Structures are given as C-alpha cells and as structure tokens.
Structure 1
Amino acid sequence: MANAIITDAQARMEKAGEALQRELQNIRAGRANVGLLNRVEAEYYGAMTPLNQMASIQVPEARVLLITPYDKSALDAIEHAIYASDLGLTPSNDGTSIRLVIPQLTEERRKELAKDVKGEAENAKVAVRNVRRDAIDTLKKQQKANEITEDDLHDLEDQVQKATDAAVKNIDAIAKDKEQELLTI
C-alpha cells in the first residue's frame, strides 16, 4: 500500500513536468514551431476541429509555418480561427495555403518571455510540492492507523523527498532549456 502511494506520487510529479513542457510549447521563441497551433480550433462542418486534424502544418523556413488544408473549403475558417486566436500572428492566404510568419523577438520581449518561463516553472514546482505533501499526509495517516511502523514512515518520507527532488530537477532543466531557446538569437 505504501509503495503504491510513492508510485502514484512519482507519476503525478512526472505529469507536472509534462504539463510544463506542453505549456512552454505555446511560448513563441521567434522560431516556427508546429506546437504553436495545438490549441487553435476552427469551425469545420459545424464542429470545432483542431487545425492539425484539418490541415498539414509544415515548417518550410525557420520563421514560417505553412498550413495546407486537406479540404480547400476550410481555408477561410482556418484563417479566421488564427485571427481569433491569442497568437498575435497575421495569416497570409494565397488561395491554397496559409503562411504564418513568426516575427523576430526584441531583446526586451525575450527577457519578458524568460520571466514567464520562470513563472510557469515555479507553478509546476508548487504542484510537485503539493503532491509531496499529499503523499506524506497519507503515509502519516497509515502510520497512525498502525499499518506501517515509524521507521517505515521515515524511510518512505525519504523516498517521497527523493522523488520530489528529481521532479524539481527535471522542471529546472526543462525551464533552463526553454530560457536558453528564448535568449538565443
């Protein structure tokens, strides 16, 4: 039972790192990235559909995204969805595909985005610490119910702490990589 608690805590801590990576994909680094359009949906035959299911999204150049719809009638809907999104990009429609040019970031904007990355990383660390607290509380309840001994409790708390340290180290590495990407011209 106690090992299941630790395994569950480790899995939840890993999910915090994965969530951070997904969140950081949405931060533009001045380079084209297919992940920028993951949250954009367009109306297609009455249903909101993700762009990656309606079109081929490619990166022909370092700062250009090329969106080619599978159905040419969806071109206008895709263009309107991009305008309505929070990307702040202006699509260029040539009749068969849409080009999105990612503007070069200023140094000031890069530093701002680096601060955002640090904030997201801190949120992920808070989530990991919450998982640690929940796991330790559950272990203490088991100890009070005489399901585990006090020595086992200390050993298990150490294991939870080691898992927490590993998760925090992973989050720091993810954040550092994204900051490096942002601050590199």
Structure 2
Amino acid sequence: MNTPELRQLKMAWIAAKEAGDTQAQVRILQEYPAYQDELIDFIAGYQATGGNEAVDQNASLLPLTRRALTSAFERVFESQNAFASLTELRKSRNLNKVATARGLRLSVDVWNKFENGAIELVSLSQRQLEKLAQFFQVSIDQFSNALNGSQPAVTLNRRQTREAASQAQQGPKKQSFAEAISRSTMSKEDQQFWQE
C-alpha cells in the first residue's frame, strides 16, 4: 500500500540520494521500521531502473533485445491473434477469398490452395512469408502456424468404395508455392512479384 506517509519517505530518500547524503538514506530506513520492507523494495526498483541516470530516448535497441521484445509481445497477445487456419485468419479480417487474392496479387485458385493446405510451408521464402504475414498484419510465425493448420474440408460420399474414400480423405496434393504460381492464371507481373 502506498500511503501518503510512505510516499513522503520515498521522496525524502530520493532527495537524500540526489544530495549524496548516505547518512540520511540509512536514517530513513532505521527510523521507520514499519515501512522498511516497502522502502527496500522501492530502493531496489530505483536502482534496477537506473536511478536518476538519464535515459537516452534515441538509443537503438539491440537486435537481440528487439527479438526478445517481439517474442514477449507475441506471447502476451497470442490468444488474441491465434488462428487455427488461414480461413479463420482471412475471416477475422472480414475478407472474402476474392478480396484476399486481389490484395495479395494472387489468383483465387492459388489462394484456395493456401487455405486447403496444399501449399508447402517450406517452399515459401522468408520474403514471401513476410509479404503474406504483412498483408494480414500478423507475425511470420502466426501466418506459418495458420498455414500449417489449414486442412481441406473432408466430405465423404457414402457410395464411394473404401479405396476411393481413403484417397479422398488424404486431401489435395501438396505442391510448392512456385509450382502453384506457374500453373495459375495469374498475370506475368503478379507472378514476377512473388518470384522476386
């Protein structure tokens, strides 16, 4: 609890610290044993955050720190941004398949292959994954997980033979992204956009 008296003690301790008066700092701790635990926690926090040292607002983050920060944010907000499939991801953005394909400069048949789980994740370059994730405003890992979770809708025809039914349940044939693009109805410019 942060009572008015405790706040005054904290301010007095900071004033003594800034003045370089270690005797006053120790005296505050000794004279107020009821607040000693709270003051010790405050002092530890003060020292851990750099105390009265100026913080350089323009300092750049180290790449390792930036990755750690990104990872922490993803874990915290993962439940809000976790999508089991690309269909869920697309629907969460209120997009239909045509608008999604158009926005990504893909043909609808290629986007269908994504949603049906026919495109192999390993066939996508880092740059292609960045473009796809950026369109949906998610991380590359979130897009990759949604792609891995995308499976075709299995429909069974009761009149099929067992062999035909087992083949139907296997889903679409997996293919690389490059192969899907080359077999698509996409314009040459859009194909080049994805092949860069």
| Same fold (TM > 0.5) | no
Point out which structure has higher relative CO (alpha carbons under 8 A, 6+ apart). Answer: 1
Q: Which has the higher strand share?
A: 1
Look at both structures and tell me which one has the larger radius of gyration over its CA atoms: 2
